[in-house]
Chains A and B, each alone.
Chain A
Amino acid sequence: MRRSARRISFSGLAIVSLLIGTQGCFITSSPPVANQGGGDAAAEKLTAAALKMEQAADRLAAAADRLSKLELRVASGTGPAASEATASPTTVEAKPAETAASSTEAKLIREVDELYAKYPDVPRVDILKELDGIEIPRVKAGSGKTLELGAGIPVDVGNPHAANKPSQPVKGDQVIVRFNSEPKSLNPVIEQSAVQTYMGQYIQEALARQDNETFEFVPHLATKWIIEDSVKLSPDYPGKKYRLVMGDGTPRPSAEIEYLAPAKKESQGEPEVMKIVVKTVNEEGQPIAKGWVGLFPIGKILGAPTTGYHNWSNEQGELVISGIIPGKYRVLTGSEIYGKVKPLADGAIEVTPLSEENPLKQALPPGQTSLVLKADEYQDIQRETWMTFYLDPRAKWSDGTPFTSTDLKFAFAVLNNITVDCDAVRTYYSDLTDLDALSPLVVRMRYRQQYFKAFEFGAGIGLYTPPFEFFKNRLKTQTTEPAITGYELTLDRLTEAEEDAQKKVSAHGKRFGKFFNLDTAYNQTPLGTGPYMVESWKKTDRVILSRNDSYWLPERSGYLDKLIFRFLPDNTTALQSLRAGEIDFNYRMDPEQFTKDLAGPPDWFKDKFIKADWYTPNYGYYCWNLNRPYFKDQRVRMALAMLFEKEAFLKNKMYNLGTMVSGSQYYFGPGYDHSVKSVDYSPETARDLLATAGWIDTNRDGILDRDGVKLSFEALIPPGNPVIDDRTALLQKTLKQVGIDMQISRMEWAAFVERLKAKDFDVVTLSWAMPVESDPFQLWHSSGATPESRGSNAGSFANNLADELIEKIRVTLEPDKRALLNYSLHRLLDAQQPYLFLYCSKDLGAYHKRFRGVKWYRLRPGFDLAEWYVPKDEQVHKSE
């Protein structure tokens, strides 16, 4: 699923740009496979081997020859030395321009090194300089330094009309925006398509708003929040003794279990999943409701959280452990308190309750502000998992009802109602274990475990909050679920019989879930707290939002009377509609249109419209299936990376509307290591590297082979994307030149996804859209590398160091340290090349020049129409 970058947290860290580190290299190349066999076969292999050696020698000679020529070129100061100079740094006399660049580089290198010095426990990974003695060519272009975050984003860039005629924001007029697809529903709980999210940002609001420029969280529906740490006391803590009861019925302070993988049965049906029942009890054996049970891996269990699984028993003190990663675990229990944790000497800690609502505050003796726990008095700390939000008393829904903690509690019930069709959001919120309304304006949440995105999810729940009062009223008259018409909506848990007896319907229940999925009142015209309201939705054509003139936060109110979103899937139609004045803002143009069709620009465009391009978090890639024998070899993958003319393609086919990337974090986000330059195009080096890896054209048929296997594979590409078609054709051509045969297979989307998920491909190309800082777990953790796993690690990348880094990234809350962990992962991915990383491409659009206040942000979708306005004398659509 996609998430709007606006919902994504990271504590305001200005990006640190870095450049190449020089020490050593990180290599995990596989050893060459020895030839084995007998008789004729052996003789044949010997001949082949001899031939290979001969060819390898040829290549080496050729390489030496090239090197000497290169030196010559460099010495005489001519020729395209810039891209090839890396071949022999010692002989290169740096040009003045390069000196400037390298001094910036040196500075950046120092910065990373300082970070490594500051955090010695972060595994250090150096940028790969050479592989099997062959130097890795790197591009020189694009340091990324010019594009820092946090800088004030200029307004009305490229609009001379706006510059010549200064104006003040004023209300009135409307904008018609083109979207290329239509959402199925406008209900944010059951639909999270990009288009729904983009429209939803004017309707639904979060508790904390992410600033478009700094990416920092600022108060919104909540005026403030207090974040505290969770501490689990030891089971023998005086007055709070906790015991576990398992199969045999004996209460004990802790236990060890072995969770077994479900037996694979040949017969049909779901495999039986192991279930372990645990009870939390006190000393006397009386059940303790909502008692903490922690499961901590004994030794290393792949994919299991190193910080443990955290669960809480139900009202009866029971908990069923199921669906965890198989392995041995220590099971712990104990009372839980929370507050700000400060480490003291000898493993002791000081817990200070910060929020007034914290029960620890009342429990402390008068005059005492904190509790000191000795090392043996607590068993586990999870940082920043308790969040108390204080809602703005002014906040209200567009129908005038106040926005309260009941609405959030309702949201929590709906998101956890398994009948509600919101599987994707539910996955996100599965770790938000509790949400309590402490008063109409105070809400407290608990996140399951320490996680750098916990706050983002907690604050983001506002975006998925349906209005409680609205649904209460709607139930009185609705006909979607006749069985519950006239029933009163409640947040209590009731069975269907109880519902009927009390004439109430539970938000947790099946019948409400079904009603919620199907009732059109909210699905088509959802109510929100935002600056705009849904006026109407003409299916297959447009959604009209109108300004909420009684918006609770007048200073953030929109200017335009209406925001109209038209659904025009075809790019050509969209451009013609712009020309005909049927739309005002053509969002998502393709590069060809943007540069070729609007070259000049043509007369019809010149006087009326402004072109705009901006970055959003994304990158394109080729993913090698590492289960294929030829892609298992790091040298082959690295050689393939050298066989794509990245720079040339970016310039010629993408018209420089993008930037090259070398890792999987957002180029402008905090996790991107700018010191890692992309691997450069260099067929000669690639050829050498392939030869080293044993890939030589022994039978002289034009295709490289090794041990009788040809280097021939198929690229799976999705339909309807000309840029992907072009780049794949180019890659095919350059691969062909060194003797690699790549066939292209284009499949329509459903079939494409099926093969992708089944890991049934050699190489696949796509792009990822991600948040500003993404959690690398889904993409790169080895738990997703199994053939059965249908997750995002489609290429089956598995690397122990990567796993360690990823697990650390998830639980590291300190932004600088997490950035450094991300840099290490970035360098590792660059060295391993599980993907051929391509570009972060720009989003393109054109809009009418009468609009002012236009800013292009570096997150998705990149514009905020609530800031756009039209000066009074230029307004086209007068409000009636």
Chain B
Amino acid sequence: MATYIFRRLLLMIPTLFGILVLSFIVIKSTPGDPASGRFGGAAAAQGGMNAERGTEDAEKAFRKNFKLDEPLYVQFFWFVGRIFRGEMIYYTKQGSIWPDLIPAMKITLMINSIVFLLVYLLAIPMGIFSATAPHSTGDRIMTLTLFVLYSLPSFWVAEMLRLGVLESNLGLPVSGLQSPNADRLSLLPWLWDYTLHLVLPILCMTYASLAYISRQMRAGMLEVVRQDYIRTAKAKGCSPARVIWVHALRNSLFPIITLFASLLPALIGGSVIIEYIFNIPGMGKLTIDSVFSREYDMILVTMMLSAVLTLLGILISDIMYVLVDPRVSFESKN
């Protein structure tokens, strides 16, 4: 097992390098570069640009400084050199990306952890319930509700929720993560304030995944309950609860484990739309803003982070297969 894991980790190096090269090429082949963010910025797009003075010379110096006119391979190795030294910078303002990236990552990680916890805590029992009584009225109602939720676009739901909150004077905050006076609050009121700000975004992010995960769980469970050994368990007089929770559950988790591979990168991947609507300074907003202003370092770092986490997620789910199902083994059978 240890050798297997070690081999897999080693294999990740060329894979990551390949991902890096491809991402770099893709990013570089999009038209425009950070100079447009700096000398005709996105803020200027809204207010119009000023025609007063030419910034052509400044732009030239800027491009030279960041090697934007050099051949692609020079730019690539310049980038790779810096990534090993951790010198990831903003092009449009000199300075490291980490002071922005890390807080955004923390916020997204926190929100997504809550969301995933809620989703799994709700979806697994719901899936099991549907599977234990397939095609019953309860199952049908739940399936229908979940599908309706699944098909509702989150930006619309977010807007509706917000309007509902405002119309009914619930007093829930509708944007941001903190009140202006949050600094002056003591710990408990501060926590309460923060929690209130999280209610709407978390609600919006939870409902859609709920349907998906619970359907997966239902399908997994349905397949397992049709197996012979379940019939055997029932035949030998096990209680239905024991059949489900002890005999069936472990095997029915396979699809959920497969989904786990995508869970890790998803934890740090923010939801662009929800973050934008509720003005949450998470990874989604940071990433999309970086893409628009062509902050190459920030884009590549977030891409590489999800690449690493995806590969790790796949590895972990592979290991979990072994743990869940004794029939699966990575040891070679001599």
Contacts and interface: CB of A to CB of B under 8 A. Distances in A.
B235 interface: no
B166 interface: yes
Interface string B27-64: 00011110011011111111111111111111101100
A751 B94 contact: no
Interface in B275-299: 276-279, 281, 285, 292-294
Contact of A792 (B31, B51, B159, B177): B51
Contacts of A16: none
A660 B198 CA distance: 46
Interface string A746-774: 01111111111100000000111111001
A2 B51 CA distance: 8
B48 A769 contact: yes
Nearest to B159: A572
B162 interface: yes
Given A750-B36, A757-B40, A576 B175 contact: yes
B146 to A, nearest CB: 28
Contacts of B162: 576
Given A540-B281, A566-B176, A754 B48 contact: no
Interface of A: 1-3, 174, 176, 180-181, 184-185, 190-191, 193-195, 421, 423-424, 426-428, 517-518, 536, 538-542, 544, 564, 566-570, 572-573, 576-577, 579-580, 582, 588, 604, 618, 620, 718-721, 747-757, 766-771, 774-775, 778-779, 784, 789-792, 877, 880
B92 interface: yes
5 contacts: A423-B62, A568-B279, A576-B163, A768-B50, A775-B53
The 6 closest A-B pairs by CB, nearest first: A750-B32, A423-B58, A540-B281, A753-B36, A767-B48, A751-B31
Pick the most buried of B52, B159, B277: most chain A CB atoms within 10 A of its CB: B52
Contacts of A176: 180
A797 B95 CA distance: 39
Nearest to A750: B32
A642 B301 CA distance: 51
Interface of B: 30-33, 36-37, 39-59, 61-62, 90, 92-95, 99-100, 103-104, 159, 162-163, 165-166, 173-181, 183-184, 276-279, 281, 285, 292-294
A2 B49 contact: yes
Contacts of A620: 48
A573 B277 contact: yes
B53 A577 contact: no
Given A604-B166, A791-B54, A791-B56, A753 B40 contact: yes
Contacts of B95: 517-518
Contact of A618 (B47, B175, B278): B47
Contact of B174 (A190, A191, A577, A779): A577
Given A1-B39, A753-B36, 7 more contacts: A421-B93, A576-B166, A604-B166, A720-B45, A749-B37, A750-B30, A774-B52
A662 B67 CA distance: 42
A49 to B, nearest CB: 42
Given A176-B180, A791-B54, A580 B173 contact: yes
Nearest to A580: B174
Given A193-B41, A541-B177, A566-B176, A588 B56 contact: no
B178 A541 contact: yes
B40 A582 contact: no
Nearest to A760: B31
A539 B31 contact: no
Contact of B32 (A427, A541, A720, A754): A754
Contacts of A538: 178
Contact of B51 (A195, A570, A768): A768
Contacts of B31: 747, 750-751, 754-755
Contact of A582 (B42, B94, B176): B176
Given A577-B175, A778-B54, A2 B281 contact: no
B49 A766 contact: yes
Contacts of B55: 1, 423-424, 427
Contacts of B276: 569-570, 573
B165 to A, nearest CB: 8
B54 A427 contact: yes
A787 B93 CA distance: 29
Nearest to A268: B71
Contacts of A572: 159, 277
Given A181-B43, A580-B174, A779-B51, A754 B33 contact: yes
Contacts of A180: 46
A766 B44 CA distance: 10
Contacts of B43: 181, 193-195
A771 B174 contact: no
Which of A184, A428, A579, A748 has the most chain B CB atoms inside 10 A of its CB? A184
A471 to B, nearest CB: 17
A851 to B, nearest CB: 16
A572 B42 CA distance: 19
A191 B41 CA distance: 11
A536 B181 CA distance: 12
Contacts of B58: 423-424, 426-427
A428 B183 CA distance: 40
B286 to A, nearest CB: 8
Contact of B48 (A184, A569, A756, A766): A766
Nearest to B276: A570
B52 A181 contact: no
Contacts of A719: 45
Contacts of B174: 573, 576-577, 579-580, 582
A544 B104 CA distance: 20
A783 to B, nearest CB: 10
B56 A518 contact: no
Contacts of A181: 42-43, 46
Given A3-B50, A566-B176, A749-B292, A185 B93 contact: yes
Given A423-B58, A424-B55, A570 B279 contact: yes
A421 B91 CA distance: 11
B49 A582 contact: no
Nearest to B93: A184
Contacts of B177: 541
B51 A770 contact: yes
Contacts of A721: 45-46
Given A580-B166, A789-B56, A753 B50 contact: no
Contact of A751 (B30, B50, B285): B30
B4 to A, nearest CB: 42
A540 B277 contact: no
Contacts of B281: 539-541
A784 B53 CA distance: 12
B173 A582 contact: yes
A586 to B, nearest CB: 12
Contacts of B278: 573
A779 B174 CA distance: 43
Contacts of A569: 276, 279
B254 to A, nearest CB: 40
A792 B48 CA distance: 12
A718 B279 contact: no
Contacts of A540: 100, 104, 281, 285
B14 to A, nearest CB: 31
A568 B37 contact: no
A180 B276 CA distance: 12
A2 B292 CA distance: 20
A61 to B, nearest CB: 44
B85 to A, nearest CB: 16
A185 B36 CA distance: 18
B100 to A, nearest CB: 7
B321 to A, nearest CB: 40
A181 B45 CA distance: 11
A752 B45 CA distance: 10
B47 A750 contact: no
B70 to A, nearest CB: 9
A190 to B, nearest CB: 7
Contacts of B42: 181, 749
